[in-house]
Amino acid sequence: MQAITEIAKFTFSDAIRNKIFYGVFAFLILLFITAAALASVTMGRTELMISDLGLGSISILGNLMTIVIAIQALQQERESRTLYVLVTRLEQRWKYIAGKFIGLAAVLALQIILMCALLSLCITIFGNIFWQSYFQACLTTVLEIWLVLAVALLFAQSSSLFLAMLLTLAVDIAGRFTFTIRQLGEQSDNPVLQALTQAMYYVLPNLEAVNLRNQAGYITQYNWSQLVQILGYSISEIALLLCICSLIFQRKNLS
Amino acid sequence: MNPLIDVQHINLSIPTGHVLQKRKTILHDISFQVEQGTSTAYLGTNGAGKTSTFRILCGLMKPDSGKLIFDGKTMPHGLPPKRFGFMPEQPYFYKNLTPQELLTGLGRLSGMDNNHIEKGVQYWAEKLHFSKVLKQRLSTCSKGQVQRVGLAQALIHQPDFILLDEPLSGLDPIGRACVRDVIHDEIKRGATLLFSSHILDDAEAICDQVIILKAGQTVFSGDIQSLLSSDDKWIIKASWDKQPSDIHQHGEVKQFIDGNYHIRGSSMHARNAIIQSILNTTGATLISVEAEKKTLEHAFVDLLQRDKGEETYASHH
């Protein structure tokens, strides 16, 4: 556990000082300008528009930042040879993957929480906020980001910087349409296409299933059963992805 | 006595290309031993396979075949992490962390307690002259300072075996002297050292054993003195008004700034003939006769060229 904690601490400390939060401040400024503009042109329920727009933006920005930060962090660690210094001190290599995930997950969660806090401030300026559904939306956005992080780590272990970014982005986008992909397959008469879309449905992480952003601003209570389901699904999917990632890393020649 | 490290018949090849995978041989049947308490230089030209060997020892790469034995035990996944320290070639670490944070974290990863880490960080920062930058981000440190932090992280947990890949590259003469002193102290402490270097003067000053690689194969492994001992080459110093007529037939003549001549004879017979020639010439004075002392650089170049010559001869026949 000590090894995982130390690697997580290294990762967190390095990433948190990496000008990462400039992105958050840029987002904040953009958000206030948009909110002010919207308030002047909409008739009523301005806060709902700000909430939808803000949470959507946080998700997109968070996903993109996750892909860039996670893959770049791993590549830089390899290029700077820090990876060698860390791995040669470990009895098992999976601890490196676990530590890396925890460190990056903490940085990204902190970033999302900060952005959501700023957005809630912005919403309350223009109207009421339904805290329960807003909290659900923020929590599931963090889970979604962690899922994308696990995918990014998996690809970063097995391909080059550019290819890893491209593949993670592709999975990220496809992961939002898994239901649609399966439905398309079911409508087709081609058994190969049906099998392929079915396989994609089960293999790709279902990012739409962990999205409760649409409920923010409309529902006034916690949807506990849905939250537990999402939490269970996210944790098992992340664990599966990290296991595959560790297996690849364990067998990999670090040249 | 059992060697601390026994590398037996290691072969390594790596895939080249992306779609049609061919394999390139990096190491071919490498075998060597490192005795406890010795300092061994691992030398070779660029691409000879030095770094790959180090990565196999560390468990970063797996060989295609061969065996690594450490302290009498077979190690299929590299050396035991807590018993060795490794410094990779030109590391630059996390640029946003300070040397103190880096060394503290790596000390903990090596299983040290906080009290020992604190003392260790201070000790190595003073000894390797980076105390002033201990609390500055690594991105603001010079290349030499980062190199010394790299050495400190390899030594902080006082390992039995130290593996250094080009520890002296990128250092100024003062930094090199400092690192050389530290390495000497570690050997005195009883640690065993294996290091690679392109600066052969420093390697000669630090090591007592040498392993020389060429294109993935070991061409020499043994005591440095046996490599540096003259293979019957002599330097005869003399002065004369008129050069002895037959001296060119027996050796190469060079005049030095003090007006004396140095004649290099390549065998005992040539040495005797040169001396005879000087003594028989009127006005010629024999000053001294010395066995030629090779430097590691000469020995290294001679060995690789001799090997090249043998290869050329073999390819023609």
- Per-residue pLDDT reduced to its tens digit, A20-38: 667 777 877 787 787 778 7
Query: Which residue stretches of A17-80 are H helix?
Result: 21-41, 46-79
Contact across the interface for A81 and B89, Cβ inside 8 Å: yes
Nearest to B61 among A17, A90, A253 (CB): A253
Helices (H) and strands (E) in chain A — how many of each? 10, 0
Of B32, B36, B20, B27, nearest in space to B210 by CA: B32
| pLDDT tens digits along B303-313 | 777 655 555 44
Residues of A in contact with B153 (CB under 8 A): 85
Minimal-distance CA residue of chain B relative to A86: B106
Give the DSSP letter string of B129-187: T-GGGTTS-GGGS-HHHHHHHHHHHHHTT--SEEEEESTTTT--HHHHHHHHHHHHHHH
- Cα B107 to Cα A198: distance, rounded to the nearest angstrom: 49
A14 contact residues in B (CB cutoff 8 A): 94-97
Q: Which helix (H) or strand (E) holds A211?
A: none
Nearest CB partner across the interface for B108, out of A6, A18, A87: A6
Predicted ipTM > 0.90: no
CB A58 within 8 A of CB A141: yes
Whether chain B has a CB inside 8 Å of the CB on A19: the answer is no
pLDDT at A163 exceeding the cut of 70:
yes
Interface of A with B in 72-91 (CB under 8 A): 77, 80-82, 84-91
Beta carbons of A14 and B96 less than 8 Å apart: yes
**Overall average pLDDT of the B58-65 stretch:** 92
Find the closest chain A residue to B79 by CA distance.
A88
* Interval B180-205 mean pLDDT: 89
Rounded mean pLDDT of A62-82? 90
Closest Cβ–Cβ partner in A84, A253, A255 for B86: A84
* pLDDT of residue B140 exceeding 90: yes
Q: What is the pLDDT of residue A7?
A: 95
CA of B93 vs chain A CAs: smallest distance (Å): 5
The pTM of this model reads: 0.84
Q: Can you say whether the dihedral through the CA atoms of A89, A91, A92, A98 is positive or negative?
A: negative
Mean pLDDT over B233-255 rounds to 85
Nearest to B109 among A77, A80, A86 (CB): A86
- pLDDT classification of B271: cutoffs 50, 70, 90: confident
**In chain A, whose CA is at the least distance from the CA of B60?**
A254
Among B62, B88, B97, whose Cβ lies nearest the Cβ of A85? B88
A3 and B109 within 8 Å at the Cβ level: the answer is yes
Chain B hits for A253, CB-CB cut-off 8 Å, are 14, 60-62
